[in-house]
Structure 1
Amino acid sequence: MRRFLLALLLALAGTVAVAGHADAAQTGLRAADPSVIRIGSTYISAQSTGGGIAVRMAASTDALASAAARRVWTDSRGRGEVWAPEIVYDSGRYYIYFSAGTGSAHRMFVISSATADSGYTAETQLALPDNKWAIDGTMFTFNGQRWFVWSGWAGDTNVEQNLYLARMSSPTTPTGARFLISQPRESWERVVGNPFINEAPAPIRDPNGQLHIVYSANGSWSDQYCLGELRLRAGGDPTYVWDWYKSNGCLFGSNRATMMAGWDPTLYVNGPGSHSFVLLNGDIATSPPAGPRFPLMFHAVPKGTPYSWSNRYWYTGTFCWWGSVTYSRANVPGATTNTGFGLKFFE
């Protein structure tokens, strides 16, 4: 009986520890836009650094900051500002997608290698449909189809950043049209503008097999930066904008006024955003079942520090699926509410 009670107390203590907030795990990486995947027991990250891209490999997310940064690509052709590389693993090969350019010339590029930290090809510009300004792109596979999702402009001027989706016939070849799936039109996405922003999309599949795209809203130059999400309705068409339902507020942010009801603001960081779900093989099909927490990396500014791009750090955190979450909308085609899995994020 004593053993049973002791086991019960330990189990309850573990439950409380998991459910509560721990101090945000700030890494030593003073950088933005983390991209991290797990291959076997190795964690692999990609980051923009010094006019190029560096890859780190470590036995844990916490150890990435102290791992050697191996430069895998240098902007030898003068492409311009190199932003937000995303590392993807597909059919035994690594692909790093990144944006490069200056001003309105930003476009998406890709390099690839059979080895995570060396041997990458020269960069190739992705032939995205409409050839407009594009950043923060990444590839994923959903229901047997490769897709590319990115943040871009509708036209040639910087009015707002929308989220777009296109099919891929291979990891380097977009095909067909681009499809608009989100615009920053909700009040909680428009606290900071000029331009209004939806960016840094990260796809993931929930325990019911539905597709989600979690993204950053509001300007990254403000502590209003936060994560919201899109959920594709069960059986929905990813290319049809009204099959997507948007969270009714930030799901991970530092300002209570913009948080979705039932979600709390951060305790230790300001402006969390531009995150990475740390999944096995980077495959959205390996996302967690309902209940357990899985690793997360995001960038943010420590509370008590002036909010600026130069004060952003990579943080380790966790996330889990949250059931029976209803998103609602008004004055649009189709059903006005949709209930399914949402996401909880933990510092």
Structure 2
Amino acid sequence: MNKIALLIFVSIFSLGLYPASDQKKDKVENTFTNPLRKGADPFIVKHNGKYYTIFNKGGGFAVTESRFLTKFEKEEVVWMPPQNAWNSYNLWAPEIHPIDGKWYIYYAGSVHKGTPFYAQRAGVLEADNPFGPYTDRGMFYTGDDPETKKDNCWSIDMTVLQHKGKNYAIWSGWNALHDHHDVDQYLYIAELVNPWTLGKRVLLSKPELEWEKGDQIILQEGPQVLQHNDDVFILYSTRGSWSEHYKLGQLRLKSSDSDPLDPNSWIKSLKPVFQGNSAVYGVGHASMTTSTDNKEYWIYYHSKLNLEGGWNNRHVYLQKFTFDADGNPLFGEAKGGGVMIRPSGEVEIEKQDRKTKK
């Protein structure tokens, strides 16, 4: 090495200047790109500073854990369905919930594969930690008579509301049994006697407004709970999930002291609260959470990549939202794919990680 080359080499390292490739490797990006992944019916829950998601993978359910909303740090398939059972096929919309020190996966399954989808029933799995092993706690009774359990009814998209020391299940179901799947779907609620047993179901809501109608069936499904200060909301999906018309409506509990089991305790939005547009199709089945530092609210939703493909081309997105002067969530316009600023607090965590590793 000649003297000039040696001088340049020494100067680079003494000044802390590194090759461009090294600088890029050390840089913490403050943006992420939507969509996050392929899939539908996204669910996310924040617990003790970490995010947990769940989705179908390899014929069963995969659970993820991360300190970040925008990427997974750990992923494992935690449960595979049994053979020749009521829940062997058509595994839909799993959710994972921490309740009283244990973890529960709520989901829908069927005794037969594919169409017609008339045998869907809600079930629950239990574990001591989010990655299992899980014990199958069986099928819920979601009909009208929990005493005799006669005529267990079609049910999907079960979620949990924890309010005033009580737990409630909310799901999408039928009013009666049918041997086909072109049946209207309504929202039902029941108190959870324990995490795997329901009390008597109550019809909570059904499609009645014009923007909730327009397909061969009318439906409300994918209920999700949003709690902000003293306000309690149920965001639900309506119109056909296979279409570009899928959108979100809202129920708001009149007051924190209102009885969630009384349908008159809930106020329905008069118009959609989140929907697609000319560039984003079929927005729906969303869940909500906060940024890692709790300074921002984010909606975790799915939409279709294009107008074709029915259920086969849906992807998962994140988008920040706020609240209006009356306390209602203000989701704004669906932005779909593209580059967005990362949720508040994520960059700081990653920078600290880099410092710790050096």
Once the two structures are superposed, what CA deviation does each residue of 1:196-220 show, in whole Å capped at 9, x if it has no partner? 110000112232x232110001000
Distance 1:84 1:23 in 2: 25
Q: How does 1:18-37 map to 2 (within 5 A)?
A: 25-27=34-36, 29-37=37-45
Structure 1 stretches (4+) deviating beyond 6 angstroms? Answer: none
SS in 2 for 1:278: strand
> Aligned residue pairs: how many?
284
SS in 2 for 1:242: helix
Question: Could you say what the CA RMSD is over the residues aligned between the two structures, in angstroms?
Answer: 2.4
Which residue is equivalent to 2:141?
A: 127
Distance 1:297 1:85 in 2: 14
Q: Is 1:342 paired with 2:342?
A: no
Whether the 8 Å contact between 1:39 and 1:280 is mirrored in structure 2 is: no
Once the two structures are superposed, what CA deviation does each residue of 1:175-198 show, in whole Å capped at 9, x if it has no partner? 2x111111011100003x222110
Distance 1:211 1:59 in 2: 26
Structure 1: gaps spanning 5 or more residues = 1-21, 256-266, 282-287, 325-340
Which residue is equivalent to 1:278?
A: 289
Letter paired with 2:62 = A
Cα distance, 1:138 vs. partner?
Answer: 1.3
Whether the 8 Å contact between 2:301 and 2:316 is mirrored in structure 1 is: yes
Match of 1:74 among 65, 80, 85: 80
Which residue is equivalent to 2:349?
A: none
Distance 2:323 2:83 in 1: 43
Q: How does 1:114-193 map to 2 (within 5 A)?
A: 114-130=128-144, 131-157=152-178, 158-175=182-199, 177-191=200-214, 193=215
Which residue is equivalent to 1:297?
A: 300
Match of 2:68 among 54, 60, 70: 60
Match of 1:90 among 73, 86, 99: 99
Distance 2:68 2:210 in 1: 38
SS in 1 for 2:211: helix
Cα distance, 1:41 vs. partner?
Answer: 3.1
Distance 1:44 1:271 in 2: 24
Which residue is equivalent to 1:314?
A: 316
Whether the 8 Å contact between 2:303 and 2:315 is mirrored in structure 1 is: yes
SS in 2 for 1:188: helix
Q: Is 1:245 paired with 2:267?
A: yes
Once the two structures are superposed, what CA deviation does each residue of 1:146-193 show, in whole Å capped at 9, x if it has no partner? 100000001113431100000112212212x111111011100003x2
Whether the 8 Å contact between 1:51 and 1:74 is mirrored in structure 2 is: yes
Distance 1:135 1:86 in 2: 11
Aligned identity (percent) is 29
Distance 1:213 1:145 in 2: 16
Whether the 8 Å contact between 1:222 and 1:307 is mirrored in structure 2 is: no
Distance 2:35 2:291 in 1: 22
Residues 109 and 280 of structure 1: is their aligned pair in 2 closer, same or farther, counting only changes over 3 Å?
farther
Letter paired with 1:345 = F
Q: TM-score, normalised by structure 1?
A: 0.75
Q: How does 1:211-222 map to 2 (within 5 A)?
A: 211-222=232-243
Residues 128 and 223 of structure 1: is their aligned pair in 2 closer, same or farther, counting only changes over 3 Å?
same
Q: TM-score, normalised by structure 2?
A: 0.73
Q: Is 1:230 paired with 2:258?
A: no
Which residue is equivalent to 1:198?
A: 220
Residues 249 and 296 of structure 1: is their aligned pair in 2 closer, same or farther, counting only changes over 3 Å?
same
Cα distance, 1:40 vs. partner?
Answer: 2.6
Distance 2:316 2:303 in 1: 7
Q: Which has the larger radius of gyration?
A: 2
Residues 239 and 123 of structure 1: is their aligned pair in 2 closer, same or farther, counting only changes over 3 Å?
closer
Which residue is equivalent to 1:104?
A: 118
Residues 232 and 33 of structure 1: is their aligned pair in 2 closer, same or farther, counting only changes over 3 Å?
same
Once the two structures are superposed, what CA deviation does each residue of 1:265-291 show, in whole Å capped at 9, x if it has no partner? xx752111111112599xxxxxx7xxx
Distance 1:309 1:171 in 2: 30
Distance 1:89 1:68 in 2: 18
Distance 2:189 2:213 in 1: 22
Distance 1:229 1:84 in 2: 19
Cα distance, 1:121 vs. partner?
Answer: 1.1
Residues 201 and 297 of structure 1: is their aligned pair in 2 closer, same or farther, counting only changes over 3 Å?
same
Letter paired with 1:312 = R
